[in-house]
Structure 1
Amino acid sequence: MYHSSRFIYRESRPSDIDDLMAMWNDAEIQRNMTAEYPAPKTDAFRETLGQWANSTLLYVVVIDKETGKLVGQTSLRWPGIGATKNRDAELGMMIGREYWGRGVGREVLEWTMSHGFRALGLHRISISVFEGNPKAIALYKKAGFAQEGARSKANWVDGEWEDLILMGMLEEDYFRLEKEKGIVQ
C-alpha cells in the first residue's frame, strides 16, 4: 500500500466493485469519463473493471485514511504502440462526487504523478480531458500539465459537440516544478 497525507492507495479488490460501479453510474461522473453513450453500467461492466485493474501499468483505489471509505481510483496505462518503449503513460482518475471541491483530485493527481515519474520511471504522462470539464482542466494546468492539442468536436454530449483536450507533462518539467516548489527529495 502507498500513502499520501489523507489517502491510502491500494490494489482493487472484489469488495470495491460496488463502490466503483456506483461512481461509474453517476451521470455527471460518466459524462466526464467517457465518450460512450450515457447509460447505466450493467453487471457486464464489472468484468471490464476487473480487466482494467489487471491490464494497466498502475491501477489503485483511493481510500480515505480517516473513514476507510473508497473515494475514487487512479491509473496509469500504456496508451498504444511504442508507449512502453517511450515510457509514455496515460493518466486516468475518478473521484466520487461527494469528494469534489475538497482538494482530493489535487492530492490524488500529485501522488499519481510522483509515483509515475519517481517509482515507475516514466518519461511523460498524458491526460485527455473533455472541454466540458473546466475544473479538471484547471487542476491539470495548475499541476503543470501543458495543453498539447485537441481533437476538435470529438464528443457529442448534451446536444452539442465538444473538444477533447490533450495534455501532457515530461519528466524534466515535473522535476523542475518540484525543485521550484522546494519539494526535491
Structure 2
Amino acid sequence: MLAPCSFASERLVYRAADFPTDDAFLLETFRDPATQMGYFGGVTKPYAVRHMENWKKHLDTNILSAVICLQAEDGSAGEPIGVVDLEKREMGGPQNRCCGFGLVINKQYQGKGYATEAMEWIVRRAFVGYNMHRVEGGVFSWNTAALSTYRKVGFAEEGRRRKALWEEGGWHDDVTVGILAEEWYARHPDVAQQV
C-alpha cells in the first residue's frame, strides 16, 4: 500500500495560500529588505500590496506552493512563518523531470531550523511525490545561512556566476545548487525508490 507524503513535518504544517487572509503575513515578510535580497535579488524597494499580485500569480503557476505554518497543539496549521515552492523548469521538455525551489522564512523565525525542516519536506515531495529527477536552485553568495541549509539537505554547489549581483555596495556571486534523485534516495534508505 502506498503511503502518501504528508503535508506536515516534525514541527511544521504546509497548507495552501489563502488570499486575502495571508496578504498581511506575506506583505510583512517581503517588506524585509534582507528577504527581498535573498528571494528576488536586485535592488530592494518598499513593498506594497500591489506588488503581491505578481507574486500570487507566481504561486499559482508552480508545481507546488505551500505556506509554512507552525504546528498547533492539535496538529493543524498554526501561525504562518514562511513559504516554500517547487517551480517548473522544463529545460527542453518535461521528460527531464527538473524543478526549482523557492524558500522564504519570516525573519522572526530564522535561525531555528525551520528552513532545513521545510527544505527536507519539499525535496521529499519533489522526489517521492512528483517523481522529479533533479531539484535545483540559486542562492547569492552573501546568504551563507541558506547555503548551509541547502548543504545540510544534500544539495551540491554546481556552478557560480561570479560577481553577478550588485547589492548594498558590493558584488556577489550567484551560486547554483542541485540535488539528484539518486543522491536524495541514498541519504534516505528507508524510502524505496520506484522505477
Class of the TM-score when normalised by the shorter of the 2 chains: over 0.9
Q: Report what 1:50 is aligned to.
A: 56
Structure-2 separation of matches of 1:16 and 1:7: 17
Fraction of identical pairs, as percent: 28
Q: CA deviation at 1:178?
A: 1.0
Task: Measure how far apart 1:29 and its partner are.
Answer: 1.2
1:158 aligns to 2:163 (yes or no): no
Cα deviations by residue, 1:73-103 (Å, 9 ceiling, x for unpaired): 0001013542533111001000011111111
Question: Which amino acid is the alignment partner of residue 105 of structure 2?
Answer: I
- 8 Å Cα contact 1:125-1:169 kept in structure 2: yes
Displacement, 1:105? 0.5
| Counterpart Cα distance in 2 of 1:20 and 1:12 | 10
**1:50-70: CA deviation from partner (whole Å, max 9, x where unpaired):** 201211111110111138111
Query: How far apart in 2 are the matches of 1:31 and 1:128?
Result: 12
Number of residues paired by the alignment? 182
1:19 paired with 2:31, answer: no
Q: 1:124 aligns with which of 107, 118, 134?
A: 134
Is the counterpart of residue 38 in structure 1 residue 44 in structure 2? yes
Q: Unaligned stretches of 5+ in structure 2?
A: 1-5
Answer with 44-53 or 92-101: which moved more: 44-53
Corresponding letter in the other structure for 1:73? V
Deviation at 1:177, TM superposition (A): 1.0
Question: 1:149-183 CA deviation, whole Å, 9 max, x = no partner?
Answer: 0111111011111000001000000000112xxx4
Q: Distance in 1 between matches of 2:79 and 2:55?
A: 19
Give distance in 2, aligned partners of 1:46 and 1:27.
15
Task: Write the letter of the residue equivalent to 1:9.
Answer: Y
Per the alignment, residue 13 of structure 2 pairs with 8
SS in structure 2 of the partner of residue 85 of structure 1: helix
Task: Give the structure 2 partner of residue 184 of structure 1.
Answer: 191
Distance 1:79 1:184, change over 3 A: closer
- 1:86 is aligned to 96
- Alignment-mate amino acid for residue 13 of structure 1: D
**Residues of 2 paired with 1:21 and 1:83: CA distance?**
34
Distance in 1 (CA, whole Å) between partners of 2:50 and 2:162 is 31
* TM-score, normalization by structure 1: 0.93
d(CA) in 1 for partners of 2:60, 2:160: 29
Distance 1:12 1:73 in 2: 9
1:184 Cα deviation (Å)?
3.0
More helix by share: 1
Equivalent in the alignment of 1:70: 80
Separation in 2 of the partners of 1:167 and 1:39? 27
Give 1:134's aligned residue. Answer: 144
Cα distance in 2 between the residues matched to 1:85 and 1:36: 32
